[in-house]
Amino acid sequence: MSDNSVNQHFRGQVRSWGAPNKPNGRDGDADENSPLLVNGNSAIDENHVANGDSGDSSNKTLRFLFNSVHTPGTDSPNIAVRYASRAWHVTKVSLLSSKSLHSSALRGSKRCCAAIANNPLVTDYVNFLLVMVPLGVVAGKLHWSPTAVFTINSFAIIPLAAVLSFATKQISMTLSKALGGLINATFGNVVELIVSIVALKEGQIEVVQSSMLGSILSNLLLVMGMCFFFGGIVHMRDRVTGQGMEQNFGSATAQTTCSLMTLSSASLFIPATLYAVLGKVDSVEKDHSILVLSRGTAIVLMLLYVLYLWFQLRTHPNLFEAEVQYNNEEEAEEPEEPIIGPIAAAVVLVVTTVLVAICADYLVESIDPIVETAHISRNFIGLIPIPIIGNAAKHITAVLMAIRNKMDLAMGVVIGSSIRIALLVTPFLVILGWAVLDKPMTLHFEMFETVVFVFSMLVVTYILQDGKSNYLEGAMLLGLYVIIALAFYIGPIDALNKALSITQR
């Protein structure tokens, strides 16, 4: 076969790639019938004619280089030029064809991209911290400095929490809506629960109480404040009128949250008040009274949480449905599918839970040496760093949702976590300390912590009651969180608590 016939065969084969099969079976006239051509002209030619730029020399150069019918150099006697030109021709035809084939492949590509985007092993921004898991175990085993052990294991728990959330979601997606919601509600705060159980087992009751309080405050002040602030900044003005606008979220969600969080405030305020009233009573009898009150209150709170789940998932789910806004109808039609099977997800859940428990054990063991060397109160450690560590990935997710104007989803993450901590995790720890670990875990928080919590709930209630948010309200919540953190950091809280206890006696 001669070189000219080879070149002609190559050009015909490349042209045939962009031409669909004709209904009558004809494959000829690829140049005129190619989807790369519009009325016999290439797409580039048509665009330039429409724009009135056909006389411009630079446009002529672009039209010449991106002509889908001919590429200079494919007939060159120089083998290097000839094959380089043919490679460019194939690349050019492929790029131009992708535009004409885009509409037919859009749905399939969206499914593929969605599967990749939802896979935390591919896209999760905290996965690089997984290297901290074995490093944290080594640091604990080899008895590195307490600061190093605490820091490394803190960073190790962050990606493990994200993997736990992923595994829980994969399991819930294979179940019914109600049962899946129950699974998510049960395992939504498993990291805080594991860390608190380890601390309670070690007798660190102050750390447990502070971490529970800190988890609620970090959700309702720090994360919600960031959602309101950054979401309000991005969506500050209406694009049509140019006037200031506010973001909206479900009023039923806000009202239910305000009611439940007010109830949780009362459940902490009543034991603190009773402890102050019983100031002159014998300390043993007083502690026994607080234990009885706390355990009874814990049972009531857990029953109310079960009733809340029944209300949310069974009888009134319509009140909690997120009003998700999609960019287009096709995006709304694409259902999310599980990436791994339920058995694999269960294995991931169990293994990750064990790793979290190991890292949490080393983290809790390093608290006492840090308190002694760094002169930081246990209350501050439990209130600020530990809650942020356990939910860092969820916190970032909630803020990103708010920036995308999906406030119902963002509020669902923040509020759901707060309610679980107040009505499920904290009462469960009281029952666990009573029935299993034989530890005097109570709902009697110190007076300073109780006052901080009650006033924080008042601020949150006033802000949430209208179902709207803006960046100013977000700044208010963030400012209150910074003030509280500063008070716990600079104040000798441990000494203050002891002084209050002596005064009350």
Please tell me the distance from the alpha carbon of residue 422 to that of residue 415, in angstroms, as a whole number: 11
Structure tokens at 361: 């054990």
Residues 146 and 284 in one domain: yes
Q: Is residue 414 part of a domain?
A: yes
Q: Does residue 22 sit in the same domain as residue 128?
A: no
Residue 22 has pLDDT above 80, yes or no: no
Domain endpoint, select from 105, 129, 148: 105
Q: Let me know: does 430 contact 294? Beta carbons within 8 Å.
A: yes
**Closest C-alpha among 245, 234, 257 to residue 308:** 257
For residues 74 and 86, the answer to whether their CB atoms sit within 8 Å is yes
Count of structural domains within the chain:
2
**151 lies in the same domain as 83:** no
Residues 410 and 471 in one domain: yes
Q: Would you state the pLDDT for residue 281?
A: 72
Q: Which domain holds residue 38?
A: 3-105
Amino acid identity for residue 419 in this structure:
I
Residues 386 and 478 in one domain: yes
74 and 126 housed in the same domain: no
Does 111 reside within a domain? Answer: no
> What is the spatial distance between Cα 366 and Cα 147, in angstroms, rounded to a whole number?
7
Mean pLDDT rounded to a whole number for the chain: 74
- Each residue of 286-330: pLDDT tens digit? 888 889 999 999 999 999 999 988 888 788 777 766 544 444 444
Which residue blocks in 339-425 are alpha helix, DSSP H?
A: 342-365, 367-374, 378-383, 385-390, 392-403, 407-420
Claim to verify: residue 55 and residue 124 sit in the same structural domain:
no
* Domain co-membership, 90 together with 10: yes
**More confident call, 275 vs 18:** 275
68-90: average pLDDT: 65
- Record the pTM: 0.70
Residues 420-449 have a mean pLDDT of 89
Highest mean pLDDT among 36-45, 117-126, 317-326: 317-326
Output 240 or 27, whichever has higher pLDDT.
Answer: 240
* 32 and 166 both lie in a single domain: no
Position 114 in a domain: no
Q: Which pLDDT score is estimated for 68?
A: 53
141: in domain: yes
Domain endpoint, select from 105, 140, 165: 105
The DSSP annotation for 486-501 comes to HHHHHS-HHHHHHHHH
* pLDDT(118) > 90: no
Residues 83-104 pLDDT 10s? 566 655 555 554 444 344 343 4
Q: Do 171 and 316 have their domain in common?
A: yes
Residue 155 located in a structural domain: yes
**pLDDT of residue 31 exceeding 60:** no
Is pLDDT above 80 for 381? Answer: yes
Q: Which domain CATH number covers 130?
A: 1.20.1420.30
- Spatial distance between the Cα atoms of 84 and 337, rounded to a whole number of angstroms: 43
User: Same domain for 99 and 124?
Assistant: no
Task: Tell me which residue has tokens 């290097």.
Answer: 80
**70 and 141 belong to one structural domain:** no
DSSP for 289-355? HHHHHHHHHHHHHHHHHHHHHHIIIII-GGGG------SSHHHHH-----SS-HHHHHHHHHHHHHH
